[in-house]
Structure 1
Amino acid sequence: MALPHRYVFVAGLHRSGTSLVARILGNHPQIASIENAPVPENEGCYLQGGIPHTALHGIPGEFATDPVQHLVEGCAFDTLETQQRIEHDWSNWFDSAKPWRVEKSPVNLTRMRLYQNLFPTAQFIVVKRNPLKLAAAMAKWSQQSTEALIRYALDAYALADDDLRYLHAAMVVHYEELVEHPQQVAKALYAFLGLDCVELAEPIHDGNADYADHAIGDRGLRERLLAAGYDPDGSLQRSGITCRHPLRAVREAVESAFSASPD
């Protein structure tokens, strides 16, 4: 039986801007979000029993490249029982009157293909942040070196890009563009869900400005950053939102929103 609501899953590494994107989405009157839950950052992965989430899962700087945590169609959790358990456990945390439900957990980055099978009408938003700034922001949560965290981010993005090929409806948003043109990107986010734009409810701070540039001595790592679209100075080399959606009208609406005059 089809569910009366649809999920939009926000995915990304820790400290990449997923919470900001989830709040922007949750500000829309047609999107329900988890609020005031007794778990970190209102993350739904802690509020369900369908897929175990222990201290060994979702570790910053580790989870996204762990093959065990990469859940895809056909895995052990791809069952009706898992879907029903998650739906039951989450039901009390969302406003049932709203047609969309936004769920944000970093581990969504490694569960997108599974979630698409469990919730076929779901849509996915992947948030990426420059690995240099991401590594600096994540340093207080990890014992790994800056270079190791940069490599981790690049590896995780490569895996996510491969998974995106399997998704019917997904878009990629860059943190750098979100903080530079927040209303423009917000309009694109809403357009992706077929919704009209609403004004932002909070000022947007550029968290990248909080961290000094980090010199990369490893030539191979610098080349990997450039190949991924990031300059070694921390800036975004290639801009634009990537959108996959079965409906051309939605794809064009997203493109139009993002290409409109900047804020």
Structure 2
Amino acid sequence: MAGTRFKAVAREALGNIFREVKIAAKPIPKPKKWVFIVGCYNSGTTLLSELMGRHPDMSALPTEGHFITDQFQKDYDLGIPRMWVDREDIFRLNENDEGPDVVRIKKEWGMRLDLSKPVLVEKSPPNAARTRWLQKHFENAHFIGIVRNGYAVAEGISRKGDPKSIKDGWPMDKSAWQWARSNEVMLDDAKHLNNFHLLRYEDLASSPQQELDNIASFLGLPAFPDVASQNFAIHERNDSVKDMNASSIKKLSAEDIETFNRKAAFMLERLGYDKL
């Protein structure tokens, strides 16, 4: 038994050494633009990243950037999956905060990106809390914020609560507040950003080509290739781009809707969504 444990520890130590050597040898990415997709969990950030990664001038990380670096604390590790607003004191950063090791982050992300592409794309929902910090430390940073109907978002956050941390999912009041506060921080901090483009999940689902071409224009790139007819593996679905709001909202009870309205109606109004 002791020998088995020793071998496991030795393998882990060797793996860590190998990783550090790779990071040290990796060049620091120097793209023409860094692009950060930001928005609340379950708002379409994964779909948007997958779509943008199909542009010939872009390379998108295959998963959320905060999972690839050891410099950002993870919501899952803190026992608050999909709920960073519970520890806003940890996640929120602005240009005056010292923050983590920027060079190491760039190298860690660069190991998973095609550095021959002029535009590098990252998406992590918690980055909605640190756009101002990212702007300071990532050259020519551009931000694409995406918002979605809060009722659908809150239903998804509650349903997808990590069973290791939240056995029965998040209660509706917390899911509603995560949606409202995340968007509030993102929109308020956007006033300090030089390059910020906002779009709706609903518009992306109904007119993907138009919305993507708007993004290409924002980034100073040629139009996207045709994507409307393509399928995408997003979470548990492999499908074309579709608006999933109705199926999510249908799962909410009258009590859920009342709770959501109590916690988040102000953000519905700010974003122009109808109150149920």
Give CA-to-partner distance per residue, 1:70-129, whole Å, 9 cap, x none. 011121317xxx221111112221112110011111111112111101113010111111
Matches of 1:131 and 1:192, distance apart in 2: 26
The question of 1:9 aligning with 2:16 is answered no
Alignment check: 8 A CA contact 1:73 1:117 kept: yes
Q: What's the % identity of the aligned pairs?
A: 27
How far residue 220 of structure 1 moved from its aligned partner, in angstroms, is 4.8
Partner residue, 1:155: 181
1:21-44 per-position Cα deviation (integer Å, ceiling 9, x unaligned): 101110000001223xxxxxx111
> What is the rounded CA distance, in whole Å, between the counterparts of 2:105 and 2:80 in structure 1?
18
Could you tell me how far apart the structure 1 residues matched to 2:79 and 2:35 are? 22
SS at 1:21 equivalent: helix
Moved more, 148-157 or 93-102: 148-157
Larger of the two Rg values belongs to structure = 2
* Structure that is richer in helix per residue: 2
Structure 1 runs, 4 residues or longer, greater than 4 Å off: 218-223
C-alpha distance in structure 1 between counterparts of 2:264 and 2:106, whole Å: 43
Q: 2:121 and 2:73 mapped to 1: Cα distance?
A: 20
Q: What's 1:34 paired with?
A: 61
CA drift at 1:205 = 1.6
**Cα pair 2:37 2:121 within 8 Å, conserved:** yes
Which one of the candidate residues 231, 234, 249 is aligned to 1:212? 249
Superposed CA RMSD in Å reads: 2.4
| SS, match of residue 211 in structure 1 | helix
1:60 paired residue number: 82
Q: In the superposition, relative to structure 1, how do residues 97 and 66 fare at CA in structure 2: closer, same or farther (>3 Å)?
A: same
SS of the residue corresponding to residue 95 of structure 2 reads coil
User: Could you say if the C-alpha distance between residues 48 and 227 of structure 1 is closer, same or farther in structure 2, counting changes exceeding 3 Å?
Assistant: closer
TM normalised by structure 1 equals 0.77
1:2 is displaced (CA, Å) by: 9.3
Change (3 A) 1:115 1:128: same
Give the Cα separation in 2 of the matches to 1:74 and 1:84: 18
Q: 1:29 to 1:96 in 2, by over 3 A?
A: same
Paired position in structure 1 for 2:71: 50
| 1:64 and 1:107 in contact (8 A); partners too | no
**Number of residue equivalences:** 224
Aligned to 1:170: 196
Q: Which residue of 2 aligns with 1:123?
A: 142
- After the TM superposition, which residues 77-156 of structure 1 pair with which residues of structure 2 at under 5 Å, given as runs? 77=99, 82-142=101-161, 143-156=169-182
Q: What are the ranges of 5 or more consecutive residues in structure 2 without an aligned counterpart?
A: 1-27, 162-168, 232-239
For 1:157-208, what per-residue CA distance to the aligned partner results, in whole angstroms no more than 9, with x for missing partners?
1111110011000111111111111111111111111112121143212111
| Preserved contact between residue 64 and residue 110 of structure 1 (Cα < 8 Å) | no
Structure 1 counterpart of 2:95: 73
